[in-house]
Structure 1
């Protein structure tokens, strides 16, 4: 769906602003903090301004309105967490007794204090939400053709990132091609600080590459068909070379779902028959052959590690204690690293520092309490309902819409064991995916 009637905001300017933010997120938004995030925040300013001028409530679909309420609700909640509260009210909040006791012991007058226990963490979270919201809202006001151009831009940048990942993997341990030296010294990681998030991005864009290949094949554009299927193979191989177990599982699932959903329906709707079905299968087969030759040794070593020894389970165990301590309002967006440590026994501590719970449902409960959980649940229900409706109505004969349904569930599923959507590069691409998925089927063709 395209919003009309935005005076003084030409589509070209809006598309360029969205392209600027998308490029900044993919090139500089793969880290956890720092200068890269600043670049993304600055690039989001024109997108935020244009989104505010162009987005309209009346023409929006029900799903888009629900998504808008989730975004506005999350931003409002973060803003409220930063508002100072009087001591009499602050002392009634769960988990604040220790804070007040420590301030009293240190002889520091506390006065009015905000709900959040990490002001700058909440500010960073607020900025991240505004980046996501501005891109999603602006993308919703663009035409389907404009969003397709943004998608192709994301695929081009992701392919270049995959090539960088190949070079990193070939260069070996602690290559100078790695821009973050504190995370994952082997395998492909691209412009990311976390290989799991790199693999998530590859898996999220993989079904779109297959869809564009199917679409090009239907139009009998041979060079474009070969190009998009080659991109699909490259993204699949890059996800495997990251040596991320979850990332590889997501890539396999996305590839399989893409082949089953896109080729079966497209094959029925066209006269290309078996040739059309075999072409995407061949691209995935090439990727699998590359994985067998270049990535299997690293993958097998990762698979031999006992998953029960992963620190994620420890974060879940003690993170739940933290969530219970700060319910119902939470400790503040972005405050997990500050509030989790006291709940982890000294004997269970390791040499690594827990920045995130590696489960976004749990981390949302800790940081935003029940209001944040309701917002997160609304997002999940919206995506599930839209996907279910489109499947029942059989409107997924549009390859891009079908790919969006698959891609949307990649970071959502990954968020049960990690935190990919807290990285700008993944979050902005996810916003682009939702701009496709939450539109009507008639506008998506």
Structure 2
């Protein structure tokens, strides 16, 4: 059962506000900070207002309540990190003695100081948390049909991004089609600054395209089914053309899992099951053929690179030192770039600097300490428990719900080697995925 909207806030207004935020995130939220993020923040204002007016605790499912508490606690933690603390308390926090020593050496008097070591970084993190929370909470108040329309909007925009990625890949190095020319000069990247996040978005939406194709087949709508299977093939090929190794692996895993899960749904006759299995397999086969022709050279070059030489391992090694220095309360949301550098030896430094730890658990431990880790693990455990219970109870009779279960794990797994959920485009779509997955059973029909 969906959360009922408050009187005076019609569903149409809420759906429009959610659609505008989704469009802003997918079109302008793929970079790192800057004007694009400001556009997303402005689009989130009406969504936040409507979410506050429409959200009701009583009709929410248990999983929705857990996520509401997690989101509220994360926002409260960010606000607390911005509040000034008296010197007596500030000096008790790990890692702050060096800050005070540097201020004293510079001759700058210090009064009350906030817990965070990067005020603007924490403000940006707070805004990002509010964007995610407002979209998810607002989506939960909509009908299942309205959320499906938002999903189809996301798929349409992702398809356009895939087409742009094809053009970028064909144009070669440093194409003018790339909105962010300082990162990943080859391959498909869409409107993102990071090809890994582009590939993550493609892999996350891939199960939904297959699920919509399966639904269309069940209704004997062959043209519609063909359209959605074509979208699935395009998303798969775009993930491959990004030349992201993890992104391609996740796309392969979700494609295979989608075929196995959605074609073996309870209540499907064996003959229909065979047709439903072979149709999406044919779409994936077309995508694989496209990969062999257009993307294999770039993928093979990426696979030949030694994964042990990746800077991610260096970030993990010295990032763990940073985490230990700032536990248990952390250095403040969004402060990783500022606090990591002193722990990296001069001899290990490269021509690039670390914006993120490329492991969200580690970055959360550094920035928000034990409280942040508890919140992050609570979200992960909630998703796992909901998925496990649904599989055991065989309630994944809805193709969209089954696709949501697969899609939810894409950015969470990817976050172990990258930071996709710190990009608005991926985070807002993830919120949409969770609005399907964590809904009560009667709403997922």
TM, length-normalised to structure 1: 0.99
Task: Provide closer, same or farther for how the CA distance between residues 442 and 115 of structure 1 changes in structure 2, counting only shifts above 3 A.
Answer: same
Residues 340-355 of structure 1: pairs in structure 2 closer than 5 A: 340-355=340-355
Query: Are the counterparts in 2 of residues 128 and 424 from structure 1 also a CA contact under 8 Å?
Result: yes
Aligned 8 A contact 1:267 1:273 in 2: no
Give me the whole-angstrom Cα distance separating, in 2, the residues matched to 1:248 and 1:364. Answer: 26
Matches within 5 A, 1:83-94: 83-94=83-94
Q: Which residue of 2 aligns with 1:138?
A: 138
Q: CA deviation at 1:157?
A: 0.1
Distance in 2 between residues matched to 1:297 and 1:265, nearest whole Å: 37
1:34-73 equivalence runs, <5 A: 34-73=34-73
CA distance in 2, matches of 1:274, 1:44: 44
1:103 alignment counterpart: 103
Tell me how far 1:339 sits from its aligned partner.
0.1
Distance verdict in 2 for CA 1:5–1:33, change over 3 Å: closer
Paired residues for 1:211-222 under 5 Å: 211-222=211-222
Report whether the alignment pairs 1:196 with 2:196: yes
**Cα displacement (A) at 1:267:** 7.6
For the residue of structure 1 that corresponds to 2:263, the secondary structure is: helix
Alignment of 1:255-334 (within 5 A): 255-265=255-265, 268-269=268-269, 272-334=272-334
1:390-429 equivalences under 5 Å are: 390-429=390-429
- Match of residue 116 from structure 1: 116
How far off its partner does 1:266 sit? 6.4
Mapped to 1, the partners of 2:75 and 2:309 lie a distance apart of 36
1:132 Cα deviation from its structure 2 partner: 0.1
The CA distance in 2 between the partners of 1:227 and 1:145, in whole Å, is 19
Cα deviation, 1:192-219, whole Å, max 9, x if unaligned, reads: 0000000000000000000000000000
Answer whether contact 1:218 1:270 (CA < 8 A) is retained.
Answer: no
Matched position secondary structure for 1:442: helix
State the match for 1:16 in structure 2. Answer: 16
Instruction: Tell me if 1:226 matches 2:232.
Output: no
Structure 2 regions of 5+ residues with no counterpart?
Answer: none
C-alpha separation in 1, matches of 2:5 and 2:157:
32
Residues 104-139 of structure 1, C-alpha deviation per residue, up to 9 Å, x if partnerless? 000000111000000000000000000000000000
Q: Give the match's secondary structure for 1:443.
A: helix
In the TM superposition, structure 1's runs of 4+ consecutive aligned residues that sit over 4 Å from their partners are: none
Stretches of structure 1 that go unaligned for 5 or more consecutive residues are none
Following superposition of structure 1 onto structure 2, how do residues 366-385 of structure 1 map, counting pairs within 5 Å? 366-385=366-385
CA distance in 2, matches of 1:171, 1:92: 56
Work out whether residues 118 and 335 of structure 1, in 8 Å CA contact, stay in contact via their aligned partners in 2.
Answer: yes
Q: TM-score, normalised by structure 2?
A: 0.99
- Mapped partners of 1:408, 1:304: distance in 2: 30
Change (3 A) 1:266 1:210: farther
Q: Secondary structure at the match of 1:280?
A: helix
CA separation in 2, counterparts of 1:242 and 1:232?
A: 16
CA distance, structure 2, for counterparts of residue 185 and residue 270 of structure 1: 48
1:442 Cα deviation (Å)? 2.2
- CA distance in 1 between counterparts of 2:325 and 2:362 reads 13
Q: Is the 1:401–1:441 Cα contact (8 Å) retained in structure 2?
A: no
Contact 1:266 1:399 survives alignment (8 Å): no
| Shift, 1:336, TM fit | 0.1
Please tell me whether residue 365 in structure 1 is matched to residue 365 in structure 2. Answer: yes
Residue 269 (structure 1) shift: 5.0
Query: How far, CA to CA, are the matches of 1:254 and 1:208 in structure 2?
Result: 10
Q: Check conservation: 2:164, 2:190, Cα contact below 8 A.
A: yes
Question: In structure 2, how many angstroms separate the alpha carbons of the residues matched to 1:65 and 1:175?
Answer: 46
Kindly state the Cα deviation for residue 270 of structure 1 after the two structures are TM-superposed: 7.4
Question: Does structure 2 conserve the Cα–Cα contact (< 8 Å) formed by 1:214 and 1:266?
Answer: no
SS of alignment partner, residue 215 of structure 2: helix
**Is 1:267–1:276's contact at 8 Å kept on the other side of the alignment?**
no
Helix, strand or coil at the partner of 2:443: coil
Q: In 2 relative to 1, CA 5–429 (structure 1 residues): closer, same or farther, beyond 3 Å?
A: closer
Alpha-carbon contact 1:240-1:248 (below 8 Å) kept = yes
- 1:229, CA displacement in angstroms? 0.2
Whether contact under 8 Å (2:5, 2:141) holds in the other structure is: no
Tell me if structure 2 keeps the 8 A contact 1:168–1:187: yes
Which residue is equivalent to 2:148? 148
d(CA) in 2 for partners of 1:232, 1:442: 28
